[in-house]
Chain A
Amino acid sequence: MKERFFELADYANGQLRGTETLLATFCGETSDFVRFNRARVRQAGSVAQAWLRLTLIDQGRRLNSSLTVAFDRTGDHAAIADAIQTLRSDLATVPPDPLLLYATDVVSSNLERSGRLPEAEEAVDCVIAAAAGADLVGIFASGPVYRGFANSLGQRNWHRVDSFQLDWSVYLGGDKAVKSTFASETWSAQEVTRRIRSAREELGFLAASPRAIEPGQYRAFLAPAAVDELIGMLNWDGVSARSQRTRQSALQKLVDAEATLSPMVTLRENTAEGLGPSFDDSGFPRPPRVALIDGGRHAGALVSARTAKEYDIAPNGANEEESMQSADLDGGSLPMAEALAALDKGILVGNLWYLNYSDRASGRITGMTRFATFWVEGGRIVAPLNVMRFDDSIYRMLGSELKALTREREWIQSRSTYGQRSVESTRVPGALLSSLTLTL
């Protein structure tokens, strides 16, 4: 795939005239998807897709054009030639772009992480056998994911990662379920079987009559999957330099030093240990790490090339949305094994769901508990809880009410497959809160 992309980039560069510059980005994948319901196959298939985005630059003007490519050389060459010709004729009609910024220092890179992925039938058989007799629903996704960059200045970047992900829930009934995920570069039927069995065993905790609690404030332990949802909200204009400069960030009070988070909170973009590529769409290399929050105080933001030009600051390889692709929240000192004892009495939140800002300027977030959420007394699970709505501020949840973060952290690969399989990931601990506000 790499050679095919670079061949297309070379062909596209050969179409340039005079002072034109071309940037080419590539994303593609060859994926198997198997959807399960009631431990049977609901939908099964494969997707082989590849997109090329061409950016033509000349005389300070710039236009973009994306197209699907087939790696049918004749057809692709014709499509690329057409696209560049259209870009060229349109370029003369648009004004110069004062915020144009792209990498001119040539920094090439190559990363290829090959895995051991299963044959489709092997994966299907394994899941169905392990889930026999259970109500399992979920998705298996597997295959290589590709990202690439090339420009007419000679830069070449390539990123290929093989991985699979099984994301599933085992249901007891109604909305009572245990949710699990297993993602890796190396398939192990034994490990998949063990994890499905473990999830089935955990269903026993949900068998007791569910307890309904009144809205109010409760001591709570958020499992890493729930913390992941909270941190994910900061990708919605929270850590973006553009949002912070235009006072739209959910962390604006932190940025303005009007408020702080707990000194335990240190958040960074950790490209060095993530799944995503180490280059952006403008050809800039991504630093290994970018500090965003340090000891509860604002430490930095993600800066795209365009924002860098607009506000005269240095870019740090952020995507156009200026969102984290490899979020990394430091752990604390609470051993995970002691989390329930430390909670003592309150709510164990396995997952959060459908978060949104109820008051963005105040960092207030609302959302639901989902899947395995329990009432705990004396450090022991007493009963499952019916789903509850929370509405609370990030400055309370990760600030004044944060009592401890777990020592152990979970690495969570993004499950997003909108349009294409994501290469985002997070690494987060669990969090003990002295109070969480439930509203409905």
Chain B
Amino acid sequence: MSPLKSETLPLRTDEDILLVRQTVRAWMVELAFNMVEQTMMVTATSELARNTVVYGGGGSARLELLADSGRQGVQVTFEDQGPGIADIEQALKDGYTTGVGLGMGLGGSKRLVNDFDIWSEVGKGTRVTITKWTLSHP
């Protein structure tokens, strides 16, 4: 599935998180997602972008516009070359935190989107991909 559109943004600072959030919002508006779907995707984006900056030591967010069997989707991939996550299952549990948040970041983000994919290797980095799909129009 090759994307119809893609854009990669850096994630190093607080301001970068804000720009990624605003860009994802603009894409969601463009695809006419409703307010709740927009808010869920932007909130998940905010959680994961912060993880990339704070825990991953910085990285990037790649936005992609996808089309698949009559529906369209906004996909965002967060990638860093940080320390990685030793126990992904534990990290996905609510309340698990090593620092600044409430520990709702990973598990919570997963509930806010349609597709959630995580890869991580200790010493290599972490990659999280989230997708929100429009309803298909047959």
B and A form one assembly: no
